[in-house]
Amino acid sequence: MRRRQLSRRMPGRRPGPADRFGRESLLDAAIVLFAERGIANTTIARIAAAGGVTSAMVHYWFDNRERLLEALVEERLGPLFNYVWSEPEAPRLTPIALAEGVMQRMLEVTAKNAWLPSLWLREVVNEGGLLRELALRRIPLERVSAFTRAMAQGSERGDLTPGIEPALIFISILGLVMLPQAVAKIWQRLNPSLTLGPAMLERHVAALLMHGLARGATAGRRRGRTRGRRPS
User: Of 63, 89, 121, which closes a domain?
Assistant: 63
Q: 135 and 29 in one domain?
A: no
| Mean per-residue pLDDT of the chain | 85
Quote the CA–CA distance of 129 and 122 in Å, as a whole number.
6
For residue 76, being part of any structural domain is answered with yes
Q: 147 and 223 in one domain?
A: yes
Q: 215 and 153 in one domain?
A: yes
Which residue range(s) make up the domain with 222?
Answer: 71-228
Residue 90: Cβ within 10 Å count: 9
Which of 4-13, 84-93, 215-224 shows the lowest mean pLDDT across its residues?
A: 4-13
Of 134, 175, 169, the C-alpha closest to 155 is 169
Q: 107 and 32 in one domain?
A: no
Q: 98 and 23 in one domain?
A: no
SS3 40: coil
Contact between 73 and 66 (Cβ < 8 Å): no
Q: 196 and 125 in one domain?
A: yes
Q: 112 and 172 in one domain?
A: yes
Burial class, 110, CB count within 10 angstroms (exposed 0-12 / middle 13-18 / buried 19+)? buried
CA 58 to chain centre: 25
Q: 75 and 55 in one domain?
A: no
Quote the CA–CA distance of 176 and 227 in Å, as a whole number.
19
pLDDT tens readout for residues 23-32: 999 999 999 9
For residue 1, being part of any structural domain is answered with no
Q: 133 and 35 in one domain?
A: no
Alpha-helix runs per DSSP H in 88-183: 95-112, 116-120, 132-136, 141-157, 169-182
Is the per-residue pLDDT at 1 higher than 60? no
First to last CA, the chain: 61
CATH of the domain at 21: 1.10.10.60
Rounded percentage of the chain residues whose pLDDT exceeds 70: 82
For residue 81, being part of any structural domain is answered with yes
pLDDT tens readout for residues 36-95: 999 999 999 999 999 999 999 999 999 999 999 999 999 999 999 999 999 765 567 899
Q: Which amino acid is at 169?
A: I
Q: 78 and 53 in one domain?
A: no
CATH of the domain at 123: 1.10.357.10
For residue 4, being part of any structural domain is answered with no
Q: 35 and 110 in one domain?
A: no
Residues in the chain, how many? Answer: 232
Contact between 58 and 142 (Cβ < 8 Å): no
Rounded percentage of the chain residues whose pLDDT exceeds 90: 72
Question: What does the DSSP 8-state code read for residue 160?
Answer: B
Mean pLDDT on 163-192? 92
Q: How many domains does the chain have?
A: 2
Its pTM stands at: 0.81
Q: Which amino acid is at 171?
A: I
